[in-house]
Homo-oligomer: A and B are copies of this chain.
Amino acid sequence: MQPLKALFLNTSLKSSEEPSHTEVFMNDVQVHYNKLGVESEIVRLADYKIALGVQEDMGGEDEWPKIFEKVKAADILIIGTPLWLGEKSSLATQTIERLYGSSGKTNDKGQAVFYNKVGATVITGNEDGAKHAAASLLYGLSHIGFLVPPNVDAYWVGEAGPGKSYMDAGRDNEFSKKAIRRLAYNTYHLAGMLKNTPIPAEGNTLA
């Protein structure tokens, strides 16, 4: 069997010229993927021109189609987001909008194109908002066809108020480490299962 492919979409508001706590968190997931033989790639969405809208290709300078090719090739999609005012980032919201724009597209069996892929989310913030952002992102993915394995919301947030971010806080919160491990293993387990045994195209085609 070909190695499983995981795609991380980092929706930090900062382009890759700046360090991203969310990206470092993704690196901590990649440590497990490397051991498991899962190939992974991190894409910093703020480096791309992503047009507003809900078409698969908005034309002009829109670079979403490049990203979407990577999504189609991936077995595992992990959306990563920072938190602002307790919410996922605007780029995370836009990611769901753009994915949703292809929700009418089908695979060769007539199911939504996202079937047999697994979705997950990683979140970092100074404080508060991770579960709310996770619920929104995992729901969005599930609603358009991704499978959501158990325990695929891994996050770190600090105590209420301004304070350290993930890297500054030392990357060694036990709770977050366990969540990272479970996310890595469960996306691996379930993506493997779906590769061996795809969801039958019975009762779930779009037509």
Contact = CB atoms under 8 A, between A and B. Distances in A.
A150 B199 contact: yes
Given A86-B131, A90-B93, A128-B129, A150 B13 contact: no
Contact of A200 (B52, B151, B189): B189
Task: Report the copy number of this chain in the oligomer.
Answer: 4
How many chain A residues sit at the interface, stated as a range, is: 35 or more
Interface string A145-180: 111111111011111111000000100011110000
A36 to B, nearest CB: 8
Q: Do most interface residues of chain A lie in helix, strand or loop, or is the interface mixed?
A: mixed
Contact of A131 (B85, B93, B144, B188): B85
A70 interface: no
18 contacts: A13-B53, A14-B52, A85-B97, A85-B140, A85-B144, A86-B130, A86-B131, A87-B136, A128-B128, A132-B132, A135-B139, A142-B153, A147-B150, A159-B169, A185-B204, A186-B203, A189-B200, A193-B197
